[in-house]
Structure 1
Amino acid sequence: MSPTKRLSPRKLQILALVAEGKTDRHIAILLGIGESTVKAYLHEVYTLLRVQNRAAAVYWYCHYLGLTAPIKE
């Protein structure tokens, strides 16, 4: 199953806010959830996308939106 099908709408929402440059704290405030909940969601996102960090997740999200070319290995 592709990562896009495994990411829930909430996980995509959080990833979009990360891509906008929001901090975990700011995302928590905007969504009315705890900062630890945001961190847990992001950990799940990283796992599902098989990325190691925030920057790689944002790159994946931009590619998902068609804003970047895929990485050539």
Structure 2
Amino acid sequence: MTLSPKEIEVLTLVAMGYSDKQIGVDLKIAYGTVRNHIDRAVLKLNAQNRTHAAMIYKLKNKDWLEELYEENNNTLDRRKLLSKRL
């Protein structure tokens, strides 16, 4: 199954180490909505947990974080990443 743009956006922040609460604040969505996006991504990727889902997505899209890192002057500034609206 294909991940939605919002699921990818949430997994990006998971991969960057953000908590569900921090993700909700950054994306201006409710905590429960964050959990729903993570839970759907975990199911779609047949992952064991949120971290596993982020790793599976990264492995399937090998240059995922590296491209974002390079595009943002070798920093993983979440605001710059989110402004690109993955």
- Matching residue of 2:9: 13
**Aligned pair count?**
63
Secondary structure of the 1:52 match is coil
The answer to whether structure 1 residue 65 and structure 2 residue 83 are counterparts is no
Q: Percentage identity across aligned positions?
A: 32
Aligned residue among 38, 42, 45 for 1:42: 38
User: Normalization by structure 2: what TM-score?
Assistant: 0.67
Mapped partners of 1:32, 1:56: distance in 2 = 24
Structure 2's unaligned 5+ residue stretches are 64-86
User: Normalization by structure 1: what TM-score?
Assistant: 0.78
Query: How big is the alpha-carbon RMSD for the aligned residues of Structure 1 and Structure 2?
Result: 1.3
Structure 1 consecutive aligned stretches of length 4 or more whose deviation exceeds 6 Å? none
